[in-house]
Every structure is written in structure tokens, then in C-alpha cells.
């Protein structure tokens, strides 16, 4: 089962919940993999401290024009939906950062003047820590296209019974790419007006993908009754709640908040796993 842990905004505790869920699986002897798909700001391994056993470079294909063969017909410019090829004085100019590697220009060039070359966009580090398989993507500095790297991370550790995907926050392309094809999505939120607003946006994206989801409230006691009532009135099912705690915050700053959460709130974390298991199996759509 693939469980994506997502949120409408950063700083909700998404990575902490992802790691706690993976740790719970490991303690219950379920083989788990933790996939850090927040490739622009990967931080899972700061906490997991997995021993890295392999590093792989991820490439995408971008076009390169053989100028002597090019007749300046403009077919490549016309097919590119991303304006990544522009004809300047009859010669194609390629903006590699805008290229989505669709291969369209390569296929339409009547002169076979375009070849596809590899461009590295980032790396994937894989290893094991605390009985949990780990893979994390790291996007190269200045690189704009994270979805191909996220897809590559999601292909890692297919042998695990439960694969937990730490998604980027928000509702843009990287977040959608990380959640797409998940069997269940956990949306982590904080009970504040901001949190509710961002959760509503994220839930809209998950519904558009047709995926079942549930909400985990982190620092669940920082909001008042009114805001919790508002969560319920918008139809959000709260599947687990982790209250604010100084011990967790101190653990976070030491880099071992997961052991504190497991010690104090294991039952809540196990609720997430069993809810995902139940609704995944039923194929329910929230």
C-alpha cells in the first residue's frame, strides 16, 4: 500500500507524521519504506539517519539541435506547448529549464535535426535506518523540474509492504505528482484558520485526483472549539490527533521526536494505519 502524507502548507508536521507511521510499521513487523518526495527541501534523513547505501543520478531528456541540418521550418516551435523552443532569426533556441521532456520536437522535426540528450536534475539516496527502507530525492540547485525526480523516488523500494510518501506541501505540480497513484492520502493540518484554509485547498486537489483521504490534526489542542467545529462542518474526517507537547518539540530539536511520539501517541499513529488499510481495501472515495 502506498500512503502519501501531504499538507496544504509547510510546517504542519507532515514529515514527523510520515516518520512516526513508518516507525510504527517497523515496530509491528510490517516492512516499510519511507520515500522523501519533498525533493526541493528533503529533510527525512535528518531524523531517520539512514545509512546511505547507494546514490543514483536522475536525468531527463532535452533536445539538442544539429544546426547544419536545421532548415528553420519552425515545426519544433509550433509543437512545444511550454515555449521551450523559440525560433530566433530562423534558428531554434532551446530553454532547457522550461523543457518538460515530452519528446514532441524530436518527433516532428522533418530533417531529423534534433537529438535527445541527458540532463541531470538531481540525485536519489537510498539506504536503511531503524529497520525502515529509505529513499530520498535531492533536486539540483537551480533546477526547476522536480516531477521527474519525484517519479523516480516513487519507483524505489517496491518490495516494501507499506510505502510512505512524504509529499511536498501545497497543491502545485510537485505535490500532485507525489500524491498521484497513492492508495490513501493523509492530510496533516493544524487547527487554525490558516490551517483550515490550506487544508481545504489540499483536499480539493486530492478529491480531483479521486483518492481517499483522512485528516490528521497536529498540535490538535492549539485551536479553540469553534475551529474544530468548522473542520467538521466542512466534512473533514479527523482520523487522529496529536496534541501540542513540549516533549515533542524538544525531541524535534534533538532530531528524535519520533521516539517521543511513539512512546506517547502510538495508538493515534496506529489509527492512521488502520484507517488507511480499511478505506484502501474498500476502495472508498472521501
Q: Contact positions toward ligand SF4, by CB under 6 A? A: 63, 65, 70-76, 79-80, 82, 84-85, 92, 99-105, 109, 111, 113-114
b/e per residue, 56-90, with b = 16+ CB within 10 A?
eebbbbbbebeeeebeebebbbebbeeebbeeeee
* Cβ proximity to ligand SF4, 79 vs 209, nearer residue: 79
* Cβ proximity to ligand SF4, 92 vs 122, nearer residue: 92
Please report, in angstroms and rounded to a whole number, the separation of the first and last CA atoms in the chain: 17
The distance of closest approach from Cβ of residue 123 to ligand SF4 in the complex, given in angstroms and rounded to an integer, is 22
Cα–Cα–Cα angle for 196, 202, 207, nearest 5°? Answer: 120
The distance of closest approach from Cβ of residue 66 to ligand SF4 in the complex, given in angstroms and rounded to an integer, is 8
The distance of closest approach from Cβ of residue 96 to ligand SF4 in the complex, given in angstroms and rounded to an integer, is 8
The distance of closest approach from Cβ of residue 107 to ligand SF4 in the complex, given in angstroms and rounded to an integer, is 9
DSSP-derived secondary structure for 70-117: -----HHHHH-TT--EEEETTEEEE-GGG-----HHHHH-TT--EEEE
All three cell numbers of 191, joined, read: 487547527
* Cβ proximity to ligand SF4, 76 vs 215, nearer residue: 76
* Cβ proximity to ligand SF4, 74 vs 131, nearer residue: 74
All three cell numbers of 3, joined, read: 500512503
* Cβ proximity to ligand SF4, 51 vs 66, nearer residue: 66
Three-state DSSP string of 156-208 = CCCCCCEEEEECCCCCCHHHHHHHCCCCEEEEEECCCHHHHHHHHHHHHHHHH
Alpha-carbon gap, residue 216 to 1, rounded angstroms: 19
* Cβ proximity to ligand SF4, 103 vs 243, nearer residue: 103
The closest alpha carbon to 113, from 63, 152, 159, belongs to 63
Instruction: Tell me the CA distances in angstroms from 65 to 59, 74, 97, 129, 261, one per residue in order.
Output: 19, 12, 16, 45, 55
The distance of closest approach from Cβ of residue 99 to ligand SF4 in the complex, given in angstroms and rounded to an integer, is 3
The distance of closest approach from Cβ of residue 93 to ligand SF4 in the complex, given in angstroms and rounded to an integer, is 11
The distance of closest approach from Cβ of residue 97 to ligand SF4 in the complex, given in angstroms and rounded to an integer, is 10
- The values of phi and psi at residue 67, to 5°, are -55, -45
* Cβ proximity to ligand SF4, 71 vs 172, nearer residue: 71
Amino acid at each position: 500500500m502506498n500512503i502519501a502524507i501531504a499538507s496544504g502548507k509547510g510546517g504542519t508536521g507532515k514529515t514527523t507524521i510520515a516518520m512516526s507511521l513508518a516507525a510504527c510499521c517497523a515496530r509491528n513487523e510490517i516492512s516499510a519504506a519511507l520515500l522523501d518526495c519533498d525533493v526541493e527541501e528533503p529533510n527525512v534523513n535528518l531524523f531517520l539517519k539512514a545509512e546511505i547505501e547507494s546514490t543514483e543520478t536522475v536525468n531527463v531528456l532535452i533536445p539538442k539541435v544539429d544546426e547544419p541540418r536545421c532548415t528553420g521550418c519552425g515545426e519544433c516551435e509550433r509543437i512545444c506547448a511550454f515555449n521551450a523552443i523559440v525560433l530566433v532569426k530562423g534558428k531554434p533556441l532551446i530553454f532547457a529549464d522550461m523543457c518538460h521532456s515530452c519528446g514532441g520536437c524530436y518527433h516532428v522535426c522533418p530533417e531529423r535535426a534534433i537529438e535527445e540528450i541527458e540532463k541531470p536534475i538531481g540525485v536519489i539516496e537510498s539506504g536503511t535506518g531503524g529497520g525502515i527502507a529509505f529513499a530520498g530525492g535531492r533536486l539540483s540547485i537551480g533546477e526547476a523540474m522536480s516531477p521527474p525526480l519525484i517519479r523516480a523516488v516513487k519507483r524505489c523500494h517496491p518490495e516494501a509492504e507499506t510505502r510512505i510518501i512524504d509529499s511536498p506541501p501545497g497543491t502545485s505540480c510537485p505535490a500532485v505528482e507525489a500524491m498521484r497513484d497513492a492508495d490513501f492520502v493523509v492530510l496533516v493540518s493544524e487547527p487554525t484558520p490558516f490551517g483550515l484554509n490550506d487544508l481545504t485547498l489540499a483536499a480539493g486537489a486530492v478529491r480531483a485526483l479521486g483518492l481517499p483521504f483522512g485528516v490528521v490534526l497536529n498540535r490538535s489542542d492549539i485551536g479553540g472549539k469553534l475551529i474544530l467545529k468548522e473542520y467538521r462542518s466542512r466534512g473533514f474526517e479527523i482520523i487522529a490527533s496529536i496534541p501540542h507537547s513540549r516533549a515533542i518539540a524538544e525531541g524535534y530539536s534533538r532530531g528524535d521526536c519520533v521516539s517521543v511520539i511513539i512512546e506517547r501517541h502510538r495508538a493515534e499513529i496506529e489509527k492512521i494505519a488502520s484507517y488507511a488499510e480499511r478505506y484502501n481495501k474498500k476502495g472508498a472515495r472521501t
